[in-house]
Amino acid sequence: MKRTTIMIAGGVLLGVAAALVGVSLVEGQGTPRRPVTDHGPPGRWLPPGAHPNPAGGPAIQMDTGLGPLPPSTGAGYSSLTDVKPGGAWPALPRSLKGPVQPVFYRHDIHAGQYRIPCLYCHNNAANSYSINLPSESTCMGCHIVTSAPDTAGNPNPDIAKLRDYYARGVSIPWVRINRLPDYVHFPHMRHVAAGLACQTCHGNIQQMPRVFAVRNVASMGWCTSCHMERGVTRDCTACHF
Ligand code: HEC
Ligand code: HEC
Ligand code: HEC
Ligand code: HEC
Ligand code: HEC
């Protein structure tokens, strides 16, 4: 399969993704939104403005208008955003952070270089308490076609692993990275609908060849200090019930 064919297939799928997260002008519900004062969503991944909720709930209001997040440098990061689709990938950073995963899925290629929107794969982010990881069939939508083959035409070994999981009907046992204790109640969708960029809490994921935690999210002080800054409730029962 040639790179050009791959790109056409990729382009069609990205078009579908764009349609999924395309622009609408529906207002979010609830209290008036406070302006987001820290780094805004990088326009390329989910631009400021109202986005329809892929699952039909209230619109996702990304409202910062502050421009792209400054890129991260240093251990565990790479930047492929200037690499043309199909272009050569620079060498990986010498050391990667975060746990080794069963399939080497790279956010820096998919979300960074190819600019696949976060919600293409994490598509319940706006409606659900916990955000999903994509199913193998979401990956296979592209990788039934593209296999990033070597010069001899052999598929990339991790794409071969993905195809094998899919063929066997087995879910890839991804290692979880961010995890709260069970007694904490964290409504992901409220934060996303309030316009907080994913990167506010997870860092520049689109520059990570392998995902790592940029902070310990299981920290009550971190939750409550942001809530204080933004005038959000700090009632014990909001987070513990
Ligand atoms: C093509 C699919 C795809 C896209 C696009 C994608 N992700 Fe992911 N994401 C995954 C998969 C698969 C995993 C699990 C494996 C891993 O951790 O690398 C994951 C893991 C994560 C995790 C860690 C989950 C945990 O266990 O704590 C975060 C956070 C995350 N993604 C955020 C993002 C953000 C933010 C974007 C957009 C910039 C994004 N993802 C785009 C597929 C995707
Ligand atoms: C919207 C299309 C799309 C989706 C969805 C997608 N990929 Fe990819 N993936 C690509 C493209 C494009 C490439 C680069 C291929 C190339 O340049 O030849 C790639 C490359 C890869 C590679 C090879 C990277 C390397 O290191 O050489 C792996 C492994 C991979 N994807 C795994 C996954 C997994 C796992 C999922 C699901 C979580 C997924 N992909 C979802 C389009 C996609
Ligand atoms: C206000 C901070 C915050 C924002 C904003 C945020 N997250 Fe999270 N994310 C968390 C926390 C905290 C957890 C751990 C949740 C848990 O264990 O219940 C988490 C967990 C995850 C997971 C792992 C879910 C799992 O079940 O393994 C993924 C994937 C993820 N986030 C993706 C995203 C994406 C994509 C966005 C943007 C659409 C986003 N997050 C926005 C704080 C945030
Ligand atoms: C970067 C800022 C930020 C961080 C960090 C943050 N939150 Fe929030 N949180 C918000 C905002 C903004 C809202 C209000 C959303 C709205 O108006 O609907 C909110 C709303 C909530 C709500 C709903 C409150 C209600 O009115 O019912 C809960 C529960 C919550 N957050 C829990 C958490 C937990 C648990 C953590 C830490 C793991 C956390 N949050 C971390 C900004 C943050
Ligand atoms: C915005 C969300 C939020 C609010 C509000 C909140 N908590 Fe927490 N709480 C957390 C998170 C997240 C953890 C788990 C991480 C940790 O231990 O810091 C936690 C942990 C705890 C723990 C266990 C600590 C330990 O060391 O095991 C206790 C006890 C607790 N909270 C009590 C309270 C009380 C009392 C209030 C009200 C004054 C409160 N929390 C309000 C998010 C919140």
What average pLDDT does range 93-122 have in this prediction?
A: 88
Q: Could you tell me if the CB of 226 is within 6 A of ligand 5?
A: no
Percent of the chain residues past pLDDT 90, beyond the cut? 37
Q: Whose CA is nearest to atom 19 of ligand 3?
A: 178
- Residue bearing the bigger pLDDT, 182 or 58: 182
Domain tally, the chain: 1
What average pLDDT does range 6-33 have in this prediction?
A: 35
pLDDT digits (tens, 9 = 90+) for 118-171: 888 888 877 788 889 999 999 999 999 888 888 888 899 999 999 999 999 999
Is residue 17's pLDDT more than 60?
no
Angstrom distance (rounded) from CA 181 to CA 77: 28
Query: For residue 67, is it left (φ>0), alpha (ψ between -120 and 50) or beta?
Result: left
pLDDT band at 195 (very low <50, low <70, confident <90, very high): confident
Is residue 222's pLDDT more than 90?
yes
pTM confidence score: 0.87
Q: Whose CA is nearest to atom 35 of ligand 5?
A: 236
Q: Whose CA is nearest to atom 41 of ligand 2?
A: 139
pLDDT band at 103 (very low <50, low <70, confident <90, very high): very high
Q: Could you tell me if the CB of 180 is within 6 A of ligand 5?
A: yes
Q: Could you tell me if the CB of 116 is within 6 A of ligand 2?
A: yes
Q: How far is the CA of 5 from the centre of ligand 5 (A)?
A: 52
**What pLDDT, on a 0 to 100 scale, did the predictor assign at position 63?**
47
pLDDT band at 64 (very low <50, low <70, confident <90, very high): very low
Please give all residues whose beta carbon lies within 6 A of any atom in ligand 3, as ranges. 118, 122, 125, 130-131, 133, 176, 178-180, 186, 188, 191-192, 196, 198, 200-202, 217
**What pLDDT, on a 0 to 100 scale, did the predictor assign at position 224?**
96
pLDDT digits (tens, 9 = 90+) for 205-220: 989 999 999 999 999 9
With 0-12 / 13-18 / 19 or more C-beta atoms within 10 angstroms meaning exposed / middle / buried, residue 87 is: exposed
Ligand 1 pocket: which of 122, 178, 206 to mutate (most atoms <8 Å of CB)?
Answer: 122
Q: How far is the CA of 110 from the centre of ligand 2 (A)?
A: 6
Range of the domain at 58: 3-239
Percent of the chain residues past pLDDT 70, beyond the cut? 71
Q: Whose CA is nearest to atom 17 of ligand 3?
A: 179
Count each helix (H run) and each strand (E run) in the chain, helices first. Answer: 9, 2
| Whole-number Cα distances in Å, 176 to 133, 149, 189, 229, 239 | 10, 29, 19, 29, 21
**What pLDDT, on a 0 to 100 scale, did the predictor assign at position 237?**
96
